[in-house]
Structure 1
């Protein structure tokens, strides 16, 4: 007899193997550069594009989504993050392009998630003609919860990476400012010592007449 723990483990495995077809990646977008990603999508397919600039510059990029005939389906200028869902009206290769051409010195780290089509249902639950049993309902709820947890973990990792980068930049600026202050204090102190030394080392006019 299969235990409840084994059923839960199988549900976890199925939840990760039955995801919708798509692309999820984090890539580096160089300064004054443009990167495009292509996906062959069928007609009347639901597509969701989500992106976020993790690090670099002002955390912004230009985004454009093109249909197979180069029709602009979605476009943003200097955006930090967004999510866009649409249904395809043409079959063919769609393009998602990220541009950093407006930046001449700072490169960006960009996260992109492109989900194509609806999520595949759990085995045995796709065309269920009768009422779900308690075990099937529990498996379905666990499956939805795991998907939500995976999404939350992804966004938390992105926020963590963004916060870490900002903290490193702030730490670097504080270090440079502290170093400049230290150099300034040492320079002022050395200058004062030299001035006082020169005052006491100069001979008085009376001493020069005696010589």
Structure 2
């Protein structure tokens, strides 16, 4: 869970089990990582709560990673059954399978890290653009105040040197 944009950059979060028990609960957090061991089969519910700031919307990045431990290889050994023949050496196939599984795990992990880095970048970009707008707005206000003061000073100085009396010589 990572709040990217919105007022206060915080949101409430609840994870409910299929039986309705609250597994994880956070209130007004901007980020969080939670690990839950699934004990019950069924649909788990995620709820993001923004009731405490009803006037502002939030942009939230979240990712659900499911590690299947029930089956031995998660159903990914179907290719192994089709290409396995009696002439192949078993220990070579096991070595290849172990290396491919390792590559697959590393690719999944790098995909998750890249997704999280994209979320960090989106949040930083939002903050940068918001700060740029504020700096630009207050710079324009400051410039207009400075120009107004300059015009008033010029007008005041000119009024000091205007001679309304005529001198007779």
TM-score after normalising by structure 2? 0.78
Q: How far off its partner does 1:75 sit?
A: 0.6
Evaluate the alpha carbon distance shift between residue 167 and residue 141 of structure 1 in structure 2; reply closer, same or farther with a 3 A threshold: same
Contact 1:53/1:108 (8 A) holds in 2:
yes
Evaluate the alpha carbon distance shift between residue 116 and residue 143 of structure 1 in structure 2; reply closer, same or farther with a 3 A threshold: closer
1:83 and 2:50 aligned? no
Evaluate the alpha carbon distance shift between residue 73 and residue 124 of structure 1 in structure 2; reply closer, same or farther with a 3 A threshold: same
Q: How far off its partner does 1:168 sit?
A: 0.3
Evaluate the alpha carbon distance shift between residue 93 and residue 152 of structure 1 in structure 2; reply closer, same or farther with a 3 A threshold: closer
For structure 1, the residue ranges without an aligned partner over 5 or more in a row are 1-50
What SS does structure 1 have at the residue aligned with 2:53?
Answer: coil
Instruction: Name segments (4+ residues, structure 1) moved above 6 Å.
Output: none
- What corresponds to 2:118 in structure 1? 157
Query: How large is the RMSD of aligned CA atoms in angstroms?
Result: 2.6
Q: Name whichever structure is richer in strand by fraction.
A: 1
Q: How far off its partner does 1:80 sit?
A: 1.2
What SS does structure 2 have at the residue aligned with 1:113?
Answer: coil
- What corresponds to 2:8 in structure 1? 58
1:115 and 2:76 aligned? no
Contact 1:60/1:78 (8 A) holds in 2:
yes
Evaluate the alpha carbon distance shift between residue 117 and residue 141 of structure 1 in structure 2; reply closer, same or farther with a 3 A threshold: closer
Contact 1:122/1:140 (8 A) holds in 2:
no
Contact 1:53/1:80 (8 A) holds in 2:
yes
Tell which has more relative contact order, 1 or 2 (C-alpha 8 A, sep 6+). Answer: 1
Q: Name whichever structure is richer in helix by fraction.
A: 2
- What corresponds to 1:30 in structure 2? none
Which residues of 2 match residues 25-104 of structure 1 at below 5 A?
51-104=1-54
- What corresponds to 1:191 in structure 2? 152
- What corresponds to 1:173 in structure 2? 134
TM-score after normalising by structure 1? 0.64
What is the aligned length? 155
For structure 2, the residue ranges without an aligned partner over 5 or more in a row are 82-89
Q: How far off its partner does 1:70 sit?
A: 2.7
